[in-house]
Amino acid sequence: MSPLRRTALAAGVLYLLTFVSIPILGLYATVLDPESTVGAGTATAVAWGGVLEMVVALACIGTAVVLYPLVKRQNEALALGFVGVRVLEAATIVAGIVVIMTLVTVRQAEPDPQVQATGAALIALHDWTFLTGQGFLPAVNALLVGPLLYQSRLVPRVLPMLGFIGALLLAITFVATMFGFWAQVSSASALLTIPIALWELSLGIWLIVKGFQPSPITAGLAADPASGSGVPVHSGQSG
């Protein structure tokens, strides 16, 4: 397997790993219910949700780190921006995990109006953290890495085009939710979120199954004999 193929495979697997958090809505359902902020309940399901979200956070960073050495050859500024925003997205996910586990602790307190208010505030904090981190930043990521893949033709251009459409629709539902046009968990929000999810899913599957297409920016790439890591490096030609 060539170093370039390994890079595509790693990026594809990491993109698919970002979908392991799909079950968290069910795992967090009880603890995020305003009617049961305080009361008995197992924290096991919530803890598993936190584990899955941590996997997603690390996979988010991984997708950018793996792709950066390659896509920076197309545009280094956009590639660096992609890494930065991907790290920011991961940071908001981790912040959400901290909030949700704090909420689990609050649930174990004795019923009290002050505790109820604290729980409600934590739920709101989690919802807004989730909306910002996983409900908006993926749109920014698509607008950063999409042009790199589109211009370089590393993947079929229909894939980044889907990313552009998904980014626009995700931004629309983000703004609509912020201004109260519809709830964060609603049919409208779910419908407008599907394209961005399809973009990342289809990109991950393509990279695993097909890898990168021939492109001018892949010319001269080879394994680094010093590191033995198989990470693509430039063979000596200029940018």
Residues 6+ apart with CB under 8 A from 84: none
**Mean pLDDT for the chain?**
88
What pLDDT sits at residue 152?
A: 95
In this structure, are residues 189 and 173 in contact, taking their beta carbons and an 8 Å threshold? yes
Please indicate whether residue 125 or residue 30 has the higher confidence score (pLDDT): 125
Per-residue pLDDT of 145-194, as tens digits, reads 999 999 999 999 999 999 999 999 999 999 999 999 998 889 999 999 99
Per-residue pLDDT of 186-233, as tens digits, reads 999 999 999 999 999 999 999 999 999 999 998 867 544 333 334 444
Can you tell me the distance from the alpha carbon of 166 to that of 181, in angstroms, rounded to the nearest whole number?
19
Residue found by looking up tokens 């199954």 in the block = 209
Tell me which DSSP letter residue 35 carries.
G
Can you tell me the distance from the alpha carbon of 112 to that of 148, in angstroms, rounded to the nearest whole number?
54
What pLDDT sits at residue 30?
A: 80
Can you tell me the distance from the alpha carbon of 174 to that of 178, in angstroms, rounded to the nearest whole number?
6
Count other Cβ atoms within 10 Å, centred on residue 66.
23
Instruction: Quickly state the pLDDT bin for 38 (edges 50, 70, 90).
Output: low
The tokens describing 172, both together, are 């629309």
Can you tell me the distance from the alpha carbon of 146 to that of 134, in angstroms, rounded to the nearest whole number?
17
What pLDDT sits at residue 111?
A: 72
Nearest in space to 12 (alpha carbons), one of 193, 229, 159, 162: 159
Can you tell me the distance from the alpha carbon of 39 to that of 58, in angstroms, rounded to the nearest whole number?
32
pTM: 0.87
What pLDDT sits at residue 108?
A: 79
Can you tell me the distance from the alpha carbon of 85 to that of 56, in angstroms, rounded to the nearest whole number?
14
Angle at the Cα of 135 (from 129 to 140), degrees rounded to 5?
110
Q: Name the pairing type of β-strands 221-222 and 233-234.
A: antiparallel
End-to-end CA distance of the chain: 25
Per-residue pLDDT of 116-139, as tens digits, reads 888 889 999 999 999 999 999 999
The tokens describing 152, both together, are 């370089």
Please indicate whether residue 44 or residue 97 has the higher confidence score (pLDDT): 97
